[in-house]
A = this chain, B = another copy of it.
Amino acid sequence: MLPRVNSAAIRRLNMVRVFHALRENPRCAQRDLSRLTGLDKATTSAIVAQMVEEGLVERSEAPRARRIGRPETALGIAPSAGLLVGARLEPGTIRIVSTTLAGAVVEQSQIPGSTDLATALRHLHEGIDAVVAASRPEGGAAPPPLRGIGIGIPALMDRAGRLVLAPNLGWRDTPIRPLLEEALGAPVHVDNDTKAAAMAERLFGACRGVEDFVYLTGHSGVGGGLFLGGRLYRGAQGFAGEIGHLTVVPGGRPCGCGKRGCLETYVSETSILAQAGERGRALPDLWAAAAAARDGDPVVRALLEAAGSHLGVALSHMVNLTNPELVVLGGNLSIVAEFVLPTLNAALDEHALEPLRRDLRLVVSPLGPDAVPMGGIALAMDGFLSVPGPIL
């Protein structure tokens, strides 16, 4: 059933608009918010008053003088209004970050991960408690209340937010969200790590204000996050964006999915290192691969160029089908971007339609490996803005 549309829904929608306008334009005045959201200044005044009342927004004491007329009072999301926590859960490590409700980073930490569910959940729980405890303001007062937690996991999640399969962690049909919500006592949002990272790029990174973009990343596999028409696109079952299993070499290298020639058998960190090993180059990670390439190792260079070429073919399919404005190379792909980009661009030139190719921008993620935990923040922010009723 569709949600009811009534006065309360209007207020919520407009309040969220004001929130994001203020988040993206810190210390701006009510007048600016009015112009940014398109709402009347009277309406803006009422909404801001309510947000101040609830403690979500604070007015600056020092008025900013303009050339003439009454000076503006700068507004801001109150740091004391609450805390968001984002996490990246991987087999080896767990990264945790806490931010204000506006998304400004407060604390970070990194702790060991585990493929054992109970152990991983315990580490996560303890790590979050520690980060929240460390996120107290300077005066030594109590930390702001925890408003939401978002977690990016290398897993297939269905549309209901259930974990279906996490091959690297060895988990299947694990009710991770209820488990965590019970343990942590705050709203928990779990999503695929790549989709979370795409959300982060949209809210905090290279894609602010971009309606249609593709986020690419490569760790054990190659993932794609599709942001289409101003929102994260999930598909019918929640599995959209699986670029890693496009066939790029018919009859090529065997893939864990049972098929052959999948993109991720050529482009993921795992497969690049495996191929290097087959050719007598034992490399621990992609940083080593980038270093070797920088030193002029022809074998590693050829591998990375081939990876770029294959990625470019798959990406050209993506571009022809979805006509994005921007493509972001994120995650581990950003480490080797400089060696991958030339052949990637050439493949795009060759296989993408000219008008789509011409206006396509391709950037390396500014968030880099922090994109996933910041994606958790994005999930949590989205969640706490979506709760009906007054925000706090």
Contacts and interface: CB of A to CB of B under 8 A. Distances in A.
Given A212-B236, A233-B228, A322 B321 contact: yes
Contacts of A212: 235-236
Interface string A235-261: 111111111011100000000011100
Nearest to A213: B236
B235 A353 contact: no
A38 interface: yes
Nearest to A3: B38
B6 A10 contact: yes
A354 B39 CA distance: 48
Contacts of A231: 229
A211 interface: yes
A351 B6 CA distance: 46
A387 interface: no
Contact of A259 (B242, B258, B351, B355): B351
Nearest to A320: B242
Interface stretch (A145-153, A189-197, A310-318): A310-318
A251 to B, nearest CB: 11
A5 B1 contact: no
Interface residues of A, number: 58
A328 interface: no
A228 to B, nearest CB: 6
Contact of A323 (B239, B259, B325): B239
A47 to B, nearest CB: 12
Contact of A5 (B14, B247, B322): B14
A322 B359 contact: no
A240 B37 contact: no
Contact of A245 (B226, B233, B320): B320
B323 A236 contact: yes
A331 interface: no
Contact of A38 (B4, B10, B246, B353): B4
A54 interface: no
B2 A37 contact: yes
A266 to B, nearest CB: 15
A17 interface: yes
Counting from the closest, the 3 A-B pairs by CB-CB distance are A235-B323, A236-B325, A240-B323
Given A212-B235, A247-B316, A321-B321, 6 more contacts: A226-B321, A236-B324, A241-B321, A242-B320, A257-B353, A317-B317
11 contacts: A2-B17, A5-B10, A10-B10, A211-B236, A226-B322, A228-B233, A235-B323, A239-B323, A240-B322, A242-B353, A322-B322
